[in-house]
């Protein structure tokens, strides 16, 4: 079964041109904060929302990706493309420190929004549960993304049991039609939906675990009908053609932590994946939007996670020799209009450069333009709206 996820509007989260994809709110300070945290042997914060002019720009709203391997070959099997229609998004930047996150529905356990090095995140210090409200039934094609900072193991190489668990619906089911997924840096497994542990267990190689502990880790889920894929950073954990995942109006999430081993969530994103593929969208609408092109914090350097989307654009151009396109960069309204415009222009140019250099597309077939925050796809009054506005668009010429 071939997945044909739209590469439409977004960051991890999208193409946070104002901030790299989900690049959601708070990542400008992530890199420096992580460095300080390592020196202090504490858990680093995850996102820092800030924008500044071009080269000096802090991570615009939504830049939430940790350092990626320099070798793009590592990412060849990484085919995650975030959904383009945001159903739920939070990076906790609008929440009050000391309170529970207002966008989520509280169920149980000790959780509160905290601020570390200027970055807000949700901290759990024991077993805790909450619901992600979706405003409607989860669609057949969707993506679910967690940015999480797991603690270091207390002893040896044993992570906190069931550190992150999610399942459709408000209550535990784990029945034949409701898979429950568990993730820890060392191990993942599925219960329900015809799966059970230990047969469903996937072990993370020991060499890769340090990059997932005490660092920002990206857990990504892609569903196309019954087709289930899951990733942790660049590694694909599951590729299951048929896995029943309950479609409900909420997703139940459980965190397992301790006072001396807290778990931090820095962003959550749920998005519907529409059916349009690139050329179909260009033929019917004249443009196609994606949030799957990611950039280094506050810069125009493309991240390796962008390869699935860049491949899709390049393949379309190669299949249609007469096609010429304009690459547009768009941001949310966080930061100054001038800095947003400069960054969006630089990132649009970076997309073209990658298509020409890495994928062999003729220079003359691509033009670029940055629009900053002047053409929002949704109102910038909510986190979901700002996440939708951080995007790259491909326009037929």
Tell me the per-residue pLDDT of 279-327, one tens digit each, with 9 for 90 and over: 888 888 899 888 888 877 678 888 888 888 999 899 999 999 999 999 9
Q: In this structure, what token pair is assigned to residue 380?
A: 């910038």
d(CA 94, CA 132): 16
Q: What is the pLDDT of residues 31-83, one digit of tens each?
A: 344 434 433 333 333 333 333 333 333 333 344 333 444 466 777 778 898 99
pLDDT confidence band for 203 (50 / 70 / 90): very high
Q: Pick 45 or 129 by higher pLDDT.
A: 129
Angle between helices 278-285 and 307-319 (to 10 degrees): 60
Instruction: Give how far Cα 9 sits from Cα of 173, 291, 337, Å.
Output: 33, 4, 20
Q: Which residues contact 96 (CB under 8 A, 6 or more apart)?
A: 113
As a whole number, mean pLDDT of residues 113-124 equals: 93
Q: What is the pLDDT of residues 231-278, one digit of tens each?
A: 999 899 999 999 999 999 999 999 999 999 999 999 999 999 876 678
The pLDDT of residue 118 is 86
Angle between helices 337-359 and 307-319 (to 10 degrees): 60
Three-state DSSP at 135 gives coil
d(CA 175, CA 30): 39
Q: Pick 293 or 123 by higher pLDDT.
A: 123
The pLDDT of residue 297 is 66
- In the numeric block, the tokens 């300080």 are attached to 36
Q: Mean pLDDT for the chain?
A: 83
d(CA 110, CA 390): 33
Domain boundaries of the chain, sorted by first residue: 85-272
Nearest-CA neighbor of 69 among 303, 297, 237? 303
Give ∠ CA 256-262-268 in degrees, rounded to 5.
70
- In the numeric block, the tokens 């222009």 are attached to 345
Query: Radius of gyration over alpha carbons of the chain, in Å?
Result: 20
> How far apart, in Å, do the first and last CA atoms of the chain sit?
32
Are 137 and 248 spatial neighbours (Cβ–Cβ below 8 Å)?
yes
Q: Pick 223 or 45 by higher pLDDT.
A: 223
Give 85-272's CATH code, choosing from 2.30.42.10, 3.30.930.10, 2.60.120.560, 2.40.50.180. 2.60.120.560
The pLDDT of residue 102 is 92
Nearest-CA neighbor of 212 among 238, 181, 188? 188
Omega of the bond leading into 198 within 30 degrees of 0 (cis): yes
d(CA 293, CA 279): 17
As a whole number, mean pLDDT of residues 322-349 equals: 92
d(CA 297, CA 21): 10
């Amino acid at each position: 079964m071939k997945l044909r996820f739209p590469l439409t509007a977004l960051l991890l989260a999208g193409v946070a041109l104002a901030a790299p994809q989900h690049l959601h709110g708070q990542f400008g300070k992530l890199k420096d904060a992580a460095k300080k945290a390592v020196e202090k042997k504490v858990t680093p914060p995850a996102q820092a929302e800030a924008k500044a002019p071009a080269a000096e720009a802090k991570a615009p709203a939504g830049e939430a990706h940790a350092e990626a391997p320099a070798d793009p070959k590592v990412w060849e099997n990484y085919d995650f493309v975030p959904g383009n229609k945001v159903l739920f998004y939070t990076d906790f930047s609008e929440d009050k420190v000391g309170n529970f996150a207002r966008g989520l529905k509280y169920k149980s356990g000790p959780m509160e929004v905290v601020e570390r090095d200027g970055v807000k995140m949700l901290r759990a210090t024991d077993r805790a549960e909450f619901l992600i409200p979706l405003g409607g039934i989860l669609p057949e094609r969707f993506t679910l993304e967690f940015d999480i900072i797991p603690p270091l193991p207390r002893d040896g190489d044993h992570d906190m049991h069931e550190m992150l668990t999610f399942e459709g619906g408000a209550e535990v089911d784990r029945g034949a039609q409701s898979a429950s997924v568990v993730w820890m840096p060392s191990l993942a497994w599925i219960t329900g939906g015809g799966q059970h542990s230990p047969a469903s267990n996937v072990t993370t190689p020991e060499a890769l675990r340090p990059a997932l502990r005490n660092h920002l880790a990206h857990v990504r889920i892609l569903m196309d009908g019954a087709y289930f894929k899951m990733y942790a950073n660049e590694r694909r954990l599951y590729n299951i053609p048929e896995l029943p995942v309950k479609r409900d109006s909420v997703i139940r999430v459980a965190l397992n932590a301790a006072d001396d081993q807290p778990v931090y969530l820095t962003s959550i994103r749920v998005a519907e994946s529409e059916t349009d593929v690139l050329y179909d969208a260009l033929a019917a609408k004249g443009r196609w939007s994606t949030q799957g092109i990611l950039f280094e914090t506050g810069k125009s350097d493309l991240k390796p996670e962008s390869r699935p989307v860049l491949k899709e654009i390049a393949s379309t151009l190669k299949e249609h020799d007469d096609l010429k396109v304009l690459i547009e960069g768009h941001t949310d309204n966080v930061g100054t209009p001038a800095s947003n415009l400069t960054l969006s222009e630089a990132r649009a140019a970076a997309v073209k450069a990658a298509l020409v250099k890495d994928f062999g597309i003729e220079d003359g077939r691509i033009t670029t333009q940055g629009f900053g925050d002047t053409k929002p796809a949704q109102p910038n009054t909510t986190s979901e709206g700002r996440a939708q506005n951080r995007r790259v668009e491909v326009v037929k010429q």
